[in-house]
Structure 1
């Protein structure tokens, strides 16, 4: 039986997409994939429907570096409403409790934020995509089921108070992968003694990518409607190795390119002594991610 032919174009690269409000990350991905008529695409880390902002979408071989973006640090702008808690820790949930906020000041908020700097523990919210015995937590939550969740360690690199106009705060958060901003907002509210939930959330950075060059859906749709639409869309894509900006590079000669592509570790003069590296072949094409072995050889880790 013949191999099933894939539908769509062989698109390659990374799009810095500005996810619109209300769409799930997967719904946004499918819209973009359809506009590009791409046969292979994936996103790099879910955003809640309530959230907007940077959702890097990887096409073709770039999907093989998407895991490294999933592991990367993130940066968010968040608006928090004090004095109210909800079932989902955001404005889409049902109101649970109201508490007074009159005693809250910008100075108290700044002092409370200090408690969350560095490595902290978070209990994942029930309204999350984590699985329990094969079921997504948010599905169980909608059925009225609550399960015990183990705390997770995350790192808050920086948290800045941008404005304090009660009952709302605006914050900028720089954090490690796996951080739940809704949980952080809830915990800040409890530290202030008044409770809180998220009313606005925007991701502004993922690893080396900032939100300055994001492209929204309306722009993509307009380009797709042009006579040279596919060329215009493809011109927005970044090379796969931009996801690994800052990683050390290793450049191979023709022999080491051949052997490494066969899955064999190779000796590369002046290679780094440890860690992961970007690998380029003898024609300076990016061909994947390597890892330095204990004996100094470069081994293939994730090839494109």
Structure 2
């Protein structure tokens, strides 16, 4: 497909990433299917993981940072009795230990320790960087470096099902949470070790309850025509429901686009969703004590 066939397209796709596919591969497949000039995703999922991967086309990339900072919800299966070199099923299984006879009460007592604000040491197999080098590349070379613990929040942690050697957990958490690390720490607290053998991301805020679309279902829509395919895209401002809205007159909008600051009837200091008088979302502005300036305006 040549570059000339690509088009300017703005919107957010809630892609249901398949197992065994990298987030970048899923992103590129979606971009080619939609023939979008510009696309980016908002927080990668490992190939082992499936589920919600918001893809931002065109001007939607200007609001993608808010999705990177969003809370998320997962379902994970923790396999008990050993640990993995990568924290998940792809790594070598090491340090086998017997799984104790666990009761629901004992499991709940351990899970309770991980709810709320906790400190977490990021895994070596992560995209975090040390001196410009991703940690996962160092890990593949057999190099381990010291990582500082980071504060994350586990909003909820629930046991859904269990077998003699596995726990299925529902996790709602803040940005920056590593489910592999959470499962490893739970396994250590249970005294037998654990690794993630299944992981699915069910939700990225603020898209709770909205449908996801697999590449297969999108390809089927594409056969019906571009209009049917584009209909699944969400408007850009659906990523920003937590920000207050402000309607801007056309004369004021022109001045904002020219980099000028304008007066606004807004108290305090806050980031705002800006709309034209016709109701079109035009971008983000920052108001401070009655003065409004452009933060990130869209170019449709």
TM-score category of the 2 structures, normalised to the smaller one: over 0.9
Equivalent of residue 283 in structure 1, options 262, 278, 287: 278
Residue 217 of structure 1, CA deviation: 0.9
1:274 and 2:269 correspond: yes
In structure 1, how many angstroms separate the alpha carbons of the residues matched to 2:287 and 2:190? 47
Paired residues for 1:197-276 under 5 Å: 197-210=195-208, 212-226=210-224, 228=225, 230-269=226-265, 271=266, 273-276=268-271
Residue in structure 2 matched with residue 187 of structure 1 by the alignment: 185
Structure 1 240/115 Cα, relative in aligned 2: closer, same or farther at 3 Å? same
Residue in structure 1 matched with residue 293 of structure 2 by the alignment: 299
Q: Return 5+ residue gaps in structure 1 as ranges.
A: none
SS at the partner of 1:66? helix
Residue 272 of structure 1, CA deviation: 5.3
In structure 2, how many angstroms separate the alpha carbons of the residues matched to 1:202 and 1:67? 22
Residue in structure 2 matched with residue 52 of structure 1 by the alignment: 50
Residue 7 of structure 1, CA deviation: 5.7
Q: Return 5+ residue gaps in structure 2 as ranges.
A: none
Does structure 1 conserve the Cα–Cα contact (< 8 Å) formed by 2:124 and 2:135? yes
Does structure 1 conserve the Cα–Cα contact (< 8 Å) formed by 2:71 and 2:173? yes
- Which shows bigger deviation, 272-281 or 119-128? 272-281
In structure 1, how many angstroms separate the alpha carbons of the residues matched to 2:267 and 2:28? 39
In structure 1, how many angstroms separate the alpha carbons of the residues matched to 2:42 and 2:196? 22
Residue in structure 1 matched with residue 170 of structure 2 by the alignment: 172
In structure 2, how many angstroms separate the alpha carbons of the residues matched to 1:83 and 1:43? 35
Residue 241 of structure 1, CA deviation: 0.3
Structure 1 133/211 Cα, relative in aligned 2: closer, same or farther at 3 Å? farther
SS at the partner of 1:164? strand
SS at the partner of 2:263? coil
In structure 1, how many angstroms separate the alpha carbons of the residues matched to 2:41 and 2:69? 13
Does structure 2 conserve the Cα–Cα contact (< 8 Å) formed by 1:54 and 1:211? no
Does structure 2 conserve the Cα–Cα contact (< 8 Å) formed by 1:266 and 1:298? yes
Does structure 1 conserve the Cα–Cα contact (< 8 Å) formed by 2:100 and 2:192? no
Per-residue displacement from partner, 1:173-231 (whole Å, max 9, x unpaired)? 111111100000000111111111101111111111136400001111222233x2x22
- Which shows bigger deviation, 150-159 or 46-55? 150-159
In structure 2, how many angstroms separate the alpha carbons of the residues matched to 1:276 and 1:192? 44
In structure 1, how many angstroms separate the alpha carbons of the residues matched to 2:267 and 2:190? 47
SS at the partner of 1:156? strand
In structure 2, how many angstroms separate the alpha carbons of the residues matched to 1:155 and 1:262? 41
Q: Runs of 4+ in structure 1 displaced over 4 angstroms?
A: none
